[in-house]
Chains A and B, each alone.
Chain A
């Protein structure tokens, strides 16, 4: 009664631990997701947007500056236009003035010209004020007014015919007029020159600004591209490495690396989900492989069982039929046959159950050297009887492997026994443990110098129930079970053989970094 209870309790414990494991794993996934999402958000879109905004603002500033410069230049040109018009009028006036003094023509034309000039000034007063300033304008007004005044005086005198009165005065006035006129023109032209110079300066300055700005803009955009691009490329490279890692079978979840989260975080969460599903599917695949292997084994077992079953059927029927007619000895013989065949059937099924048993594979870091030495000891008897020499060599600092010691021992024992069976008396068996060609893997080679395996048998040796041993001497399950165990450990068994020379069975297993 007690035994049954503990058995039950044990079962409960096992199932609870596996439930716990599942809960722990689920919790881990949820925690990672929480961690990934708990960082402050700084989305790529935001960063890109900012970058572009910055560039745009800068370009906008430059545009504004250019527009301002153009506006100024436009103003100056306008100013020059007006002054030019003014100068033309004054020139005209002066010509009329000269004509008057030379040919005694009318001054009214001159006055008209002056009037036009003044009109130009007046009608563009506002603009002129902004362009050349009040002071200068005032100066020009004074100039032209003075000139106008003088001309009017002279014109008045001409009209009044009082020219003889003061020839000297007339001469003075004439000089004054001329001087005034010259000054007027000079002033205006000076003004023009200044304005032109100022405009040229503005243009030059604008050109400079634009050039510098362009260069600066280029630098800014390059920096932004470099920064953002670098950021994104960095992330993409990181995810590239994740993908490679997953492809190699590393189902560790992606954990937070940066201080912020962005669109790549969503990608990480999606990939984590994918990893979980992959793991689940792989587990299912392994399970279905196993089930398929079991299925194959079961079919093989069913056929294998037909013989003992047939023996029992025939014997028991004949026993029934001839019971009265045969003697005690024979009857006993038949009954013994029946029980023996029943035993045989039991063994066949037991061998299958061995393989299919849902035994928890206990994985732990193992030292290959120790494991091999122990296994070779197990085969000690066979070795002695067969008169074969076994030599074991291992590379230095061989990595450990993650595995179930009992199961792996079964594998290696099977290979060693096979090698012994294949070798003749006085033969040699070499067992080598070293790093495999595949990185992060170790290989154990069992090498015999026996008869070798002919090509037409090679692809059958791992089949369940295939054996070349004499009847009753082998179950034929050794290699197929071994292969199953090795596959469960993430490795494989490879065979090389030459008829007459011998065979090499290589067991390749992944190394572990766990100490």
Chain B
């Protein structure tokens, strides 16, 4: 069956929705508690992983590289988990890196802004103005984070298969809608879509390994073939390619590595095009 990714502008609401939905359709819910497993696997701490998911970009370069690494850990682990099917995934930024897989239903939830404001006012005993300010700041920091982490904006509707306004529909109706949508044959896994997901998982594994030595690169996989786009000078091309191939050897599933040294990395949309054509 389909796997469903939940993205919400209010994290608490998103988590509630995901748990509720998972219970209703008897799927497994993959949320931030998964970070514990990820931390164990990659020998790091849950805090760092959480920080990578939330921290608005600071100006220190040191954190930048660590953040990239930890996001890569989360990405690889999540993708692999998604191969198991029947997952509701929330809070792991999956909507940014699970793209082009036809049996993954990507859902965006829009919270009831007014209700949030009121809740905040009650909880923290502050004025409406202050509550709004806090929420605006949150929105801005979310945007800054997503720009830095994935060069994307979570509120970009084109990322999703459906966008639901909880304010208008209420949680229950929205859950119903998502359940119905997930039933459609459209979102059934097929050989092709499973392959796409496998490709993403493989690429993310190599991504983690390459991060130890390189930065400014993109990895695309197609079966056992992997394409790496890396920013660098053409002079260093042979050397860079050689190093990358050595690293890639550590992953037995990779058969062939193609390295492109470019002056400008392909944009997200360009990458998607390349992905669909491989």
Contacts and interface: CB of A to CB of B under 8 A. Distances in A.
B277 A303 contact: yes
A298 B260 CA distance: 15
A297 to B, nearest CB: 11
Size category of the B interface is under 10
Contacts of B167: none
A295 B273 CA distance: 9
A299 interface: yes
A97 B252 CA distance: 151
A299 B271 CA distance: 11
Contacts of A14: none
Contacts of A302: 277-278
Interface in A7-27: none
Contacts of B270: 295
Interface string B261-273: 0000000001001
Interface in A290-321: 295, 298-299, 302-303
B277 to A, nearest CB: 4
A298 B274 CA distance: 9
B45 to A, nearest CB: 42
Size category of the A interface is under 10
Indicate the member of B270, B273, B274, B277 with the most A CB atoms within 10 Å: B277
B226 to A, nearest CB: 16
Nearest to B273: A299
Interface of A is mostly: helix
Interface in B23-66: none
Interface string A431-450: 00000000000000000000
Contacts of B276: 299
Nearest to A305: B277
Nearest to A303: B277
Contacts of B274: 299
Contacts of B273: 295, 299
Interface in A189-228: none
Interface in B236-275: 270, 273-274
A183 B111 CA distance: 119
A358 B203 CA distance: 32
Nearest to B276: A299
Contacts of A295: 270, 273
A186 B273 CA distance: 120
A387 B117 CA distance: 81
Interface string B140-168: 00000000000000000000000000000
Interface string B174-190: 00000000000000000
Contacts of A299: 273-274, 276-277
B55 to A, nearest CB: 35
Nearest to B277: A302
Contacts of A303: 277
A299 B270 CA distance: 10
A299 B274 CA distance: 7
A302 B274 CA distance: 9
B269 to A, nearest CB: 10
A298 B270 CA distance: 11
A230 to B, nearest CB: 53
A303 B278 CA distance: 8
Contacts of A298: 277
A302 B277 CA distance: 6
B42 to A, nearest CB: 34
A295 B274 CA distance: 9
A182 B278 CA distance: 134
B209 to A, nearest CB: 26
A308 to B, nearest CB: 15
B90 to A, nearest CB: 33
A304 to B, nearest CB: 10
A185 to B, nearest CB: 99
A401 to B, nearest CB: 35
A106 to B, nearest CB: 107
A202 B270 CA distance: 93
Nearest to A304: B277
A303 B276 CA distance: 9
B84 to A, nearest CB: 29
A352 to B, nearest CB: 13
Interface in A268-302: 295, 298-299, 302
A299 B278 CA distance: 9
Contacts of B278: 302
B276 to A, nearest CB: 8
Nearest to A300: B277
Interface of B: 270, 273-274, 276-278
Q: Which 8 A-B residue pairings sit nearest by Cβ, starting from the closest? A: A302-B277, A299-B277, A299-B273, A303-B277, A302-B278, A295-B270, A295-B273, A298-B277
Given A295-B273, A298-B277, A303-B277, 7 more contacts: A295-B270, A299-B273, A299-B274, A299-B276, A299-B277, A302-B277, A302-B278
9 contacts: A295-B270, A295-B273, A299-B273, A299-B274, A299-B276, A299-B277, A302-B277, A302-B278, A303-B277
